[in-house]
Amino acid sequence: MDYVEKSRGYQYKGRLGQGMFGEVVKAYSTQMKKMVAIKVTDISKCTSVYIEKFLPHEKGVLETLDHPNIVKTHEIFESPKGTVYMVMELCVKGDLLNYINSKLALPERFSHKLFSQLCRAVEYLHSRNVAHRDLKCENLFLDAKYNLKVGDFGLSKTLTYVDGRVVLSRTFCGTSLYAAPEVLHSIPYDPKVSDVWSMGVVLYMMLYGSVPFNCSNVKKQAQLQKKRRFNFPKDPPVSPEAKDLIRRILHPIVEQRLKVSDILASAWVSKEPVEKCDRASTSAAATPPVGSSWDAEEGPGSPPSPPSSRKPSRGCTS
């Protein structure tokens, strides 16, 4: 961080997280006069696929996004030694997974607020033909006022069209517990539609503190998804409208899965729940292990089973 402090005016204040290709730190900007988060990517630790494809795309996408529910990028620069620095808005309340872990589950009205903000962020991304492809609680962040912000666009994709139809993705990526069945089955897929499935898993996670399909074996998980075999625990109590929305989002047939516009128009999202939002802890099942992010570069194949550790890991394999 010596280069960053001397040439850019960022004072290191501590580490926020560690990844496969670098780390995320917090720093004070002497120019902006506020705390920021900096994603530091060490090129020497990166795979050739990440350097040639994913990193340039992430930089390009971040430089074009501007939405209140997407983590703001202030600047991106590279040191003479090849280290890439992405300076971003610091979300002081941390990521959504840690917040859910501290509460076990979230009150429905608070979940409604966060999920509505997620919907608006994804609607914005999709309107710009950007699919996130790794929507999960670890990639959703909370600011000082508990507003949700979508972050980490390392596996995102800019969509292309031929004769008015989206070119299906053949890159199988994301996090297994949040991945749609078409992704797990290694079927070419529309990333927008698969993003919606991940949103359904996030909503379930908010309301129940666990994922709907908690299976360490990816093939078995895909079978459960296809059969729509998941339960709604009695505790905590959740409204019928929220349960119905989750069922309609987590539909294994892509043609019958809701679009973001359908979700925004649904009975649960369009009308705020009535119970008091106090962010109090509720009783719910313990949060299960969260699978790793994985990526098989532009070709069919079987994604790996998620590890037993809760700590997420990122990677791209050709």
> Helices 96-103 and 191-208, interaxial angle, to 10°?
30
* Amino acid letter for position 214: N
What is the average pLDDT score of the chain?
86
- Condensed to tens digits (0 to 9), the pLDDT of residues 116-174 reads 999 999 999 999 999 999 999 999 999 999 999 999 999 999 999 999 999 999 888 88
Residues of the chain with CATH 1.10.510.10: 96-296
Q: Where in the chain is the domain with CATH 3.30.200.20?
A: 2-89
Superfamily of domain 2-89: Phosphorylase Kinase; domain 1 (3.30.200.20)
What residues are annotated to the active site? 134
* 317: DSSP letter: B
How far apart, in whole angstroms, are the C-alpha atoms of residue 280 and residue 34?
Answer: 30
Select the CATH number that applies to the domain covering 96-296 from these four: 3.20.20.70, 1.10.510.10, 1.10.10.10, 3.90.1150.10.
Answer: 1.10.510.10
Assessment of whether the complete model's pTM goes beyond 0.75 = yes
CA–CA gap between residue 175 and residue 293 (Å, rounded)? 4
CA distance 111 to 172: 29
User: Residue 7: helix, strand or coil by DSSP?
Assistant: helix
SS3 166: strand
For residue 31, the one-letter residue type is Q
Model confidence over 260-288: pLDDT tens digits?
A: 999 999 999 998 766 544 444 333 333 33
Q: How confident is the model at residue 7 (pLDDT cuts 50, 70, 90)?
A: confident
Alpha-carbon span 196 to 72, nearest angstrom: 22
Within 8 A by CB and 6+ apart from 55, the residues are 41, 46, 84, 154
Q: Are 221 and 176 in contact (CB under 8 A)?
A: yes
What are the residues whose beta carbons fall under 8 Å from the beta carbon of 140, sequence distance 6 or more? 95, 96, 114, 118, 148, 149, 150, 151, 202
